[in-house]
Structure formats: C-alpha cells, structure tokens
C-alpha cells in the first residue's frame, strides 16, 4: 500500500507531466470498481475541456485540482499508478482510463488489481470531513500530536496507523519509527513519557522527510535503517540480532527483540 512518501512521489510525477495541460478527451477503458459515485461517461464529461491547475496531498490521498475549482481524488490502492506517454505502443496493459491532452501526450491510469478508488470531488473540505481524515503527518503540529497521544490506551502501532489521528503513516514507516526509537510497536502509546512522545513525533517526521526527499526509492534508503533488512532471516542493523515478525494492530510487524522495549 503506498504510504505518504510513495503518494508524494506520484504527486511529483503528476505535477511534472499533467499540470497546466488541457484535457482534450477522457478515454474510458474499464472504470468498473475504481470510479466511485460517478459513472464513466459522467466522469469523462466533467473532465473534458478542463485543465489541471494544482494538486494537494493529504496522507495517502492525492487530489488533482482543476480550473473550475473541483478536484479528482486518487486513492491508489496496491497497484494504481500514472503512466505518461506519447507513443501508443507504451500504453500500459492495465490502463483503466486516460487523459488525452490537447498539446499531445496522454496520462494513463494503470491499475492491474482495480484496488484504486477515484472520486470526483466538488467540495474538498466536506470530502475530507466526511472521510474523517486527520491532518497530514508532515503538516501535523507537535502539540496536537502530544494532545492526541496523551493517556491513550492503544498500541503505538494502532495509533500511528489510524488515519483519523494523522494521515499518511502505514505499516512499514511505523515499524521504522519504532525500531529507530528502540520501542516495541505493541507498547501502549499513553505509557510513553511526554519526552518520548515528542521524540517519536520528531523521529517520525524526520523519517518521512528523508523518504520524501529520496522520492520513495527504497534501494536509496539508508543502510542503517530497518527498511532494507525487514526480510525473513533479516538482522537488526544496530546489533545483528535476528529480527522477529509478529502481528501488531492486525499488521505484520518486524522488530528487534533486543533493542525494542515493550511498555504495556
């Protein structure tokens, strides 16, 4: 599942190829399941003749803004991605629809597993409120994080994954934050001292910023992170202990049994 840095990379790509381009036609191929609350023909009619003027990312949600002030929300799911191309031979195999731009070039939406969800959004604030979507994890203020974490009984992992508290964190980045801080992800968030909660917040934003700066290209992530070691038989980059795999908050979790203290 793409998390905040992965969606940010998709946003960078979109901004580069699609902004200020006028849509001449919307080519519908198979939009079943992925288009929500709007039919393919209605979607095509609303988009045709429009120009993308901006974009906004909040957590894992990406909103493309148009010249009429409306937005198209892309929630990418496991396999959704944009593909920009000129040569029809480059059309991706599972392209579900595409925007043909007036000045040439075509932005296809490729989605093999149809797990993406796309909405036409007339009122952005109302949509975000209805989704009960928290502030973006990179925009969230430390004081608000501390306020939400204070006295909370759930696990760190459950808290950081809950998109209504903060938007954008996912399974892998939560494990990274906990490992870097030396705290077991099943620890109760409210049992951390305020100082530890503050450190966790700062650590989380630093990790996300680094991942964003690296455009979510995993092989470029620092060797000293847990990230590229979380495999079966992988060892802790700090002390060489074999990593453990467990379910925490319903998600597959890697941690070091030596370095990460459980508080419960």
Q: Which residues bind Zn ion (CB under 5 A)?
A: 236, 238-239, 241, 256, 258-259
**Of residues 9 and 256, the one with the C-beta less far from Zn ion:** 256
Distance CA 39, CA 102 (A): 23
CB nearer to Zn ion: pick between 162 and 258: 258
User: What is the chain's alpha carbon radius of gyration, rounded to the nearest angstrom?
Assistant: 20
End-to-end CA distance of the chain: 29
Nearest-5° Cα angle at 87, 86 to 92: 95
Of residues 220 and 224, the one with the C-beta less far from Zn ion: 224
- Provide, rounded to whole angstroms, the least separation between the CB of residue 254 and Zn ion: 11
Query: What are the φ and ψ backbone dihedral angles of 109, each rounded to 5 degrees?
Result: -110, 110
Helix (H) or strand (E) holding 204: helix 194-213
Rounded CA-CA distance 165/185 in Å is 17
Indicate the residue among 141 and 245 with the shorter CB distance to Zn ion. 245
Of 22 and 229, which CB lies nearer to Zn ion in the complex structure? 229
Instruction: Give residue for tokens 């998600």.
Output: 251
CB of residue 132 to Zn ion, shortest distance in Å: 36
CB of 223 to Zn ion, least distance (A): 15
Token pair 């934050």 is found at 177
Please check whether residue 37 is in contact with residue 64, taking contact to mean a CB–CB distance below 8 angstroms.
no
């Amino acid at each position: 599942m793409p998390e905040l840095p992965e969606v940010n990379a998709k946003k960078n790509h979109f901004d580069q190829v699609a902004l200020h381009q006028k849509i001449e036609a919307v080519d519908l191929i198979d939009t079943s399941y992925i288009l929500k609350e709007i039919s393919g023909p209605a979607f095509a009619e609303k988009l045709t003749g429009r120009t993308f003027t901006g974009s906004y990312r909040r957590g894992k949600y990406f909103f493309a803004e148009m010249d009429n002030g409306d937005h198209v929300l892309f929630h990418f799911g496991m396999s959704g991605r944009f593909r920009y191309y000129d040569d029809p031979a480059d059309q991706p195999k599972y392209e579900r629809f595409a925007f043909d731009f007036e000045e040439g070039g075509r932005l296809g939406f490729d989605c093999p597993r149809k797990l993406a969800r796309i909405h036409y959004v007339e009122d952005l604030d109302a949509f975000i409120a209805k989704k009960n979507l928290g502030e973006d994890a990179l925009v969230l203020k430390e004081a608000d994080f501390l306020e939400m974490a204070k006295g909370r009984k759930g696990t760190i992992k459950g808290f950081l994954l809950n998109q209504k508290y903060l938007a954008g964190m996912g399974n892998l980045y939560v494990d990274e934050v906990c490992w870097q801080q030396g705290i077991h992800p099943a620890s109760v968030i409210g049992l951390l001292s305020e100082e530890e909660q503050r450190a966790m917040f700062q650590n989380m934003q630093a990790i996300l910023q680094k991942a964003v700066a690296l455009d979510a290209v995993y092989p470029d992530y620092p060797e000293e992170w847990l990230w590229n070691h979380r495999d079966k038989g992988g060892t802790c980059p700090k002390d060489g202990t074999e990593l453990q795999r467990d379910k925490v908050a319903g998600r597959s979790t890697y941690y070091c049994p030596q370095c990460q203290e459980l508080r419960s």
